[in-house]
């Protein structure tokens, strides 16, 4: 067994000993004629209490589900900014704040930038170990809902979404835009842009910790985790020529076990967003995707 | 029925008759609060070429505001300066890239953002509708002032050339660019991308995506408060501020913007008072508003208006 395997097995074992104890409360302000929104509190390893937004379409299910895994930002969105609210009429959606994000920031309030390198020299206590566990706990919770069709469950987000698909159970599809954990130590020196610049900042101030940082990051390396992903996966690559373009991500896409679609950004949130919305809808057997697109994206 | 072309859209926004009096009073209230600026070196974010500081200053209602401040290391003489204003839910970035271009750059975290949320923290979603029925307590009253006080911070710095201050941002940062350029005559050039907070009452009909959807949520639950809401928003709408803008300004919009409808960008642009204004519409683009192509336009714009000015004086 590899060190990566042991690292995650310990985390998963610890998580399994921590009951979720969910509390679910309707939120009338965000409920509509077509969907009801709930605030959800549940426990993850630590123990640590998390928060998420669960939206259930009105009507007879079961429905396909989109699980929005914790993002690298302080704010927890109900659905991603710019997504048509009508998406909630066709999918169960669940967005989760990992520890440190707003609504899950007590006792740990993360900084952005800052979270990426906070405690990165100690793999055992690195906050992202807990955040990955949080994300897996969120998926587990979603799959307990009788409104969810377990044959149509999409996990969407950045690296944490893909790691969740690798380590958690029940994701049938994944949409991922790697940003943090793909060959991090190798790629960070090639850019001055955040979030990878956080690694450069950290190692400039703490050069003696480079070995420890590499050891921590090795546990999160997406290429190493990819063989455990059996879900059909859409990889949202950067634009051609960018640091994380399709060519750069080829080792990752080749290592994924399930079917893979690679989309290269056209540097348009419209074109890129439309592609991923259609990809999810097609896989979830939603025929009339036009009706749940933002007004300015409809044909 | 197909939508009308964005350029042909007619906004419902009407500037209140006492708009200037309202904001004049707010400015007077703000002026009674000493800035009390503080600059704390941040060695983690500092490198050989860029010095980075965590900045704090006081704003209206004595709320303490945080910001990131980057400047080129070892620069002799006064530098042009840029204020960067953040999107609605983004965490304000560390503006190293602007410092690398030769600017002293301030990235403001208005109240409610991380590091500025000890005294005021309505959260997200919620900020947009927080106290929306009363213009005297609406969340954006203080939020706007926090960004304007960023100009005061820059003017307090000896390394900043007070005649070469610009402001920029996209989405909410674009809307705040409009209000800042309107209220602070010290701003010599402004670049607003995909401006949010412009055409609130138009946007909630044109699109049903967050963050504007927060207003629809509020009105669905509180329909009897619509008149109060619309009255308040008219005082905070970038379109109401736009005729006060006198500096050179560029605006870029995406014609498939699903967050800030392009119709509102056109309506805003039409009302901008500056004679030196230019609109860049990008077809095939959403809320990015053509950023990949437009960045070079923005760089050239500020180089011309803020860096070129130095050569003229010499």
Interatomic CA distance for residues B291 and A269, integer angstroms: 10
Interatomic CA distance for residues B245 and B191, integer angstroms: 12
pLDDT for A1 = 64
List CB contacts (< 8 A) between A203 and chain B. none
Whether the model clears a pTM of 0.90, i.e. scores above it, the answer is yes
Please classify residue B252 by burial: count the beta carbons closer than 10 Å to its beta carbon, then call 0-12 exposed, 13-18 middle and 19+ buried. buried
Give the residue among A109, A125, A104, A123 at the shortest CA–CA distance from A48: A104
Please tell me the total number of residues recorded for chain A in this structure: 299
Position B50 in a domain: yes
Cite the active site residues of B: 171, 257, 287
Q: Do B210 and A85 touch (CB under 8 A)?
A: yes
Interatomic CA distance for residues A119 and A22, integer angstroms: 29
Helix residue ranges per DSSP H, B190-225: 200-206, 213-221
Q: Do A86 and B218 touch (CB under 8 A)?
A: no
Question: Partners of B53 in the beta sheet?
Answer: B41, B69
- Regions in chain A scoring below 70 on pLDDT: 1
Q: What is the pLDDT of residues A188-210, one digit of tens each?
A: 999 999 999 999 999 999 999 99
DSSP state at residue A84: B
CB-based burial, B165-187: b 16+ in 10 Å, e otherwise: bbbbbbbbbbbbbbbbbbbbebb
pLDDT for B1 = 52
Position B13 in a domain: no
ipTM of the complex model: 0.96
Interatomic CA distance for residues B51 and B74, integer angstroms: 9
- Measure CB to CB from residue A81 to each of B211, B262, B293 and give the nearest one: B211
The pair of structure tokens assigned to B37 is 């600026």
Interatomic CA distance for residues A16 and A39, integer angstroms: 23
Distance from CA of A204 to the nearest CA of B (A): 8
Strand B187-193: give its sheet, edge to edge.
B38-41, B50-58, B64-72, B104-109, B79-85, B160-170, B187-193, B249-254, B277-282
DSSP state at residue B281: E
List CB contacts (< 8 A) between A55 and chain B. none
Q: What is the pLDDT of residues A215-259, one digit of tens each?
A: 999 999 999 999 999 999 999 999 999 999 999 999 999 999 999
Q: Do A192 and B292 touch (CB under 8 A)?
A: no
Position B106 in a domain: yes
Task: Tell me how far CA of residue A227 lies from CA of A9, A140, B218, in angstroms.
Answer: 16, 21, 46
- Measure CB to CB from residue A294 to each of B114, B258, B262 and give the nearest one: B258
Position B43 in a domain: yes
List CB contacts (< 8 A) between B90 and chain A. 73, 75
Strand, helix or coil for residue B87? coil
Q: Do B208 and A270 touch (CB under 8 A)?
A: no
pLDDT for B314 = 31
List CB contacts (< 8 A) between A239 and chain B. 292
Count up the domains in chain B and report the number: 1
List CB contacts (< 8 A) between B255 and chain A. 296
DSSP state at residue B286: -
What is the domain range of residue B42? 28-308
pLDDT for A204 = 98
- Chain A: residues touching B (Cβ < 8 Å): 28-30, 32, 73-79, 81-86, 102-103, 111-113, 192-194, 197, 201-202, 204-205, 239, 267-271, 273, 294-297
Interatomic CA distance for residues B12 and B201, integer angstroms: 7
Interatomic CA distance for residues A159 and A137, integer angstroms: 16
Task: Tell me how far CA of residue A136 lies from CA of A20, A50, A160, A225, in angstroms.
Answer: 11, 12, 9, 14
Q: Using CA coordinates, name the residue in chain B closest to A270.
A: B286
Task: Tell me how far CA of residue A174 lies from CA of A8, A153, A155, in angstroms.
Answer: 20, 8, 5
Tell me how crowded residue A158 is: count the other CB atoms within 10 A of its CB. 21
- Measure CB to CB from residue A296 to each of B90, B100, B256 and give the nearest one: B256
Position B8 in a domain: no
Strand, helix or coil for residue B70? strand
List CB contacts (< 8 A) between A119 and chain B. none
Query: pLDDT digit of tens for each residue in chain B (314 aa)?
Result: 556 688 899 999 999 999 999 999 999 999 999 999 999 999 999 999 999 999 999 999 999 999 999 999 988 899 999 999 999 999 999 999 999 999 999 999 999 999 999 999 999 999 999 999 999 999 999 999 999 999 999 999 999 999 999 999 999 999 999 999 999 999 999 999 999 999 999 999 999 999 999 999 999 999 999 999 999 999 999 999 999 999 999 999 999 999 999 999 999 999 999 999 999 999 999 999 999 999 999 999 999 999 984 433 33
Position B1 in a domain: no
Q: Using CA coordinates, name the residue in chain B closest to A299.
A: B2
pLDDT for B312 = 38
Q: Do B44 and A205 touch (CB under 8 A)?
A: yes
Position B5 in a domain: no
Position B17 in a domain: no
CATH number of the domain within which B199 lies: 3.40.50.1820
Q: Do A270 and B206 touch (CB under 8 A)?
A: no
């Amino acid at each position: 067994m590899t060190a990566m395997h042991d690292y995650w097995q310990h985390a998963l074992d610890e998580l399994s000993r921590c009951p979720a104890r969910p509390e679910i409360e309707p939120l009338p302000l965000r409920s509509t004629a077509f969907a009801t929104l709930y605030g959800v509190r549940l426990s993850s390893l630590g123990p640590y209490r998390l928060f998420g937004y669960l939206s259930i379409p009105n009507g007879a299910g079961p429905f396909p589900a989109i699980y929005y895994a914790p993002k690298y930002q302080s704010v927890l969105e109900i659905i991603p900014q710019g997504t048509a609210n009508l998406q909630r009429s066709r999918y169960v959606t669940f967005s989760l704040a990992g520890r440190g994000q707003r609504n899950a920031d007590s006792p740990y309030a993360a900084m952005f930038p800052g979270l990426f390198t906070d405690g990165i020299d100690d793999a055992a206590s690195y906050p992202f170990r807990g955040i990955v566990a949080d994300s897996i706990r969120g998926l587990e919770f979603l799959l307990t809902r009788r409104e969810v069709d377990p044959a149509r469950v999409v996990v969407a987000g950045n690296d944490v979404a893909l790691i969740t698909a690798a380590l958690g159970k029940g994701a049938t599809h994944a949409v991922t835009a790697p940003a943090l954990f793909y060959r991090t130590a190798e790629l960070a020196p090639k850019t001055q842009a955040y979030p990878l610049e956080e690694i450069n900042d950290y190692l400039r101030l703490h050069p003696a910790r480079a070995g420890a940082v590499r050891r921590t990051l090795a546990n999160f390396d997406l290429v190493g985790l990819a063989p455990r992903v059996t879900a059909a996966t859409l990889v949202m690559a950067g634009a051609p020529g960018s640091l994380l373009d399709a060519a750069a991500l080829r080792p990752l896409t080749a290592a994924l076990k399930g079917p893979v679609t690679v989309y290269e950004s056209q540097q348009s949130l419209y074109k890129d967003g439309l592609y991923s919305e259609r990809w999810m809808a097609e896989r979830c057997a939603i025929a009339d995707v036009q009706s749940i697109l933002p007004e300015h994206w409809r044909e | 029925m197909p939508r009308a072309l964005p350029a042909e859209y007619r906004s419902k926004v009407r500037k209140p008759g006492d708009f200037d009096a309202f904001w004049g009073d707010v400015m007077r209230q703000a002026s009674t609060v000493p800035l009390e600026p503080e600059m704390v070196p941040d060695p983690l974010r500092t490198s050989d070429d860029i010095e980075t500081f965590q900045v704090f200053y006081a704003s209206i209602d004595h709320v303490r505001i945080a910001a990131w401040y980057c400047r080129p290391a070892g620069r002799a003489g006064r530098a042009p300066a840029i204020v960067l204003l953040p999107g609605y839910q983004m965490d304000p970035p560390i503006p190293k890239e602007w410092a690398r271009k030769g600017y002293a750059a301030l990235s403001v975290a208005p109240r409610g953002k991380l590091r500025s949320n000890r005294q005021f923290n309505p959260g997200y979603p919620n900020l947009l509708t927080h106290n929306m029925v009363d213009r005297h307590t609406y969340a954006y009253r203080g939020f706007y002032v926090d960004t304007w006080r960023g100009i005061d911070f820059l003017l307090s710095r000896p390394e900043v050339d007070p005649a070469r201050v610009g402001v920029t941002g996209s989405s909410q940062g674009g809307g705040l660019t409009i209000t800042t350029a309107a209220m602070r005559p010290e701003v010599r050039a402004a670049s607003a991308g995909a401006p949010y907070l412009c055409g609130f009452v138009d946007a909630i009909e044109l699109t049903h995506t967050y963050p504007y959807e927060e207003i629809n949520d509020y009105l669905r639950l509180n329909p009897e408060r619509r008149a109060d809401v619309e009255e308040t928003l008219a005082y905070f709408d970038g379109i109401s501020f736009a005729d006060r803008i006198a500096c050179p300004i560029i605006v870029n919009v995406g014609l498939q913007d699903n967050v800030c409808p392009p119709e509102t960008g056109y309506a805003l642009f039409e009302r901008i008072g500056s004679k030196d204004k230019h609109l860049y519409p990008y077809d095939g683009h959403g809320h990015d508003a053509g950023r990949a192509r437009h960045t070079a336009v923005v760089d050239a714009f500020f180089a011309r208006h803020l860096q070129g000015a130095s050569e003229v004086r010499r």
